[in-house]
Chain A
Amino acid sequence: MQNITIHTIVNNELYIRTIPVNMTLLQFLREDLHLTGTKEGCDEGECGACTVLVDGHPMNSCLVLAAEMDGKHVLTVEGLAEDGRLHPLQEAFLEVGAVQCGYCTPGMLLSGIAMLNLYPHPTREQIRKEMEGNICRCTGYERIADAILLASERLAGETEAH
């Protein structure tokens, strides 16, 4: 087959689309759904700028076919804010100044959220290891790690409050 119809949920919204089978998930998000928050960097899985979560798992969307997304849940940076409020990790990025040029930020946020789901109380060393697939060419890594630590404290506080 050269085209395929997929039913996929992106940021909690169902999309039914017929697409060419050689379309990457990255192209599908940006060019078909016009969700341009997800960035293209290297287009070969090295930089992590295109990271999104598929069923909760971080993937380089440049190396995933949109055709594989039938029945899957995709989360992009556009889906992080809820009811007009930024995700705690987005807030932390703003507060500590973890954003310089911003190109890596969407991928950093998604990788960071996947990591916090797996390790709610990460050490700095764990953050370095888990975030290894996301490159920041402004080299603002220290503040990105600071932001993740800050968000982890706040998210832990929220859980305790419930």
Chain B
Amino acid sequence: MLPKFDLYMPTDLAEACRLKGEGAKVVAGGTDVFVNMHGGKDRSDKVVDVKNIPQLQGHSFSPENGLDLGALTTHRDIELWDVIKKHYRAMFEGCSRVGSVQIRTRGTLGGNICNGAPSADSIGPMMVHDAAVVVAGPANERIVPLKDFYLGLKQLDMKEDEILKRILIPAPKAHSGSFYIKYTRRNAMDLALLGVSAYVELDGDILKTVRIALTTAAPTPIRAEKTEALLIGKPASEALLTAAGKTVLTESHPRSSWRSSAEFRLALLEELTVQALQEAIAQAKEA
């Protein structure tokens, strides 16, 4: 039984911003909010359902501009979209492993981003694809790179009266590839014990661009920029990737939880960073 609340279902974005500013809980797919309400963790007395707001809907791709995703785009939309599998492989790997079909059908990218869990499977892949979010307030909007959107545990660069409107992801570059590896204890319906996303652009054998993001390795999803800097401009040798696996340990801070010890997470980080890079490089060579 859900607690009692007042429900608002506006079609106007500014109206939704105003309600959020007054303390209303924003709900889209409800796969986090209603779970928390059922469990007694969320007792919001006002709920604003944003699914009827046109500016948050729809998703499109163009080879010039890349992806323009409404915040309401679901994980299932991403999973079943051939463009994603072809050009944004890490996003396919991440989004297709969130929860179950039922959860992916309801849960939205905007919701996954704003819930801001360190274990969120969609965020690392979007970070390595250089995503930016469009955040709308009652009067104007601004664009924030996703890698700068997290200020601390569950803290977002978003004001009380702002709502995440869209997600912009650049067009795929030539000779680029990406991958996401999610480590779980069981194959289905499990949170990432650890996750590594990698994106590379190759110039012959040289790693021209590298982006790495870590899941469940810090209080927020993070980019591993030191490791990226180590790799950029060098040939993708086995020794270099092994070194990357070591460097990534210096810029991650996994904690011990009932799911795993920090030590095991560090061992995974070293190994999965190498594997994710290898997979991304293999993708780039095929592209």
Contact = CB atoms under 8 A, between A and B. Distances in A.
B105 A59 contact: yes
Contacts of B230: none
A133 interface: yes
A104 to B, nearest CB: 13
Interface string A60-94: 10111101100000000000000000000000000
Contact of A111 (B29, B102, B189): B102
A150 interface: no
A58 B105 contact: yes
A62 B3 contact: no
B183 interface: no
Contacts of B102: 45, 48, 51, 58-60, 111, 133
A111 B102 CA distance: 8
Contacts of A46: 189
B188 A63 contact: no
Contact of A63 (B6, B35, B80): B35
A67 B7 contact: yes
B100 to A, nearest CB: 2
A68 B51 CA distance: 9
B105 A57 contact: yes
A161 interface: no
A146 interface: no
Contacts of B105: 57-59
B100 A48 contact: yes
B5 interface: yes
A130 B101 contact: yes
B106 A60 contact: yes
A20 to B, nearest CB: 8
Interface centre among A59, A62, A115 (most CB of B within 10 A): A59
A65 B31 CA distance: 11
Nearest to B96: A129
A114 B101 contact: yes
Contacts of A65: 7, 30, 34, 49
Nearest to A58: B102
A64 B106 CA distance: 9
A30 B217 CA distance: 42
Given A44-B39, A64-B30, A133-B189, A59 B4 contact: no
A68 B49 contact: yes
A63 B34 contact: yes
A161 to B, nearest CB: 29
A78 B24 CA distance: 37
A59 B4 CA distance: 22
Contact of A1 (B8, B38, B106): B8
A46 B9 CA distance: 26
Given A21-B6, A45-B31, A58 B101 contact: yes
18 contacts: A1-B7, A20-B4, A21-B7, A21-B47, A23-B2, A24-B2, A44-B38, A45-B34, A45-B102, A46-B189, A57-B76, A58-B101, A60-B106, A63-B34, A129-B188, A130-B101, A132-B101, A133-B189
Interface of A: 1-2, 4, 20-24, 27, 43-46, 48, 51, 57-60, 62-65, 67-68, 111, 114-115, 118, 129-135
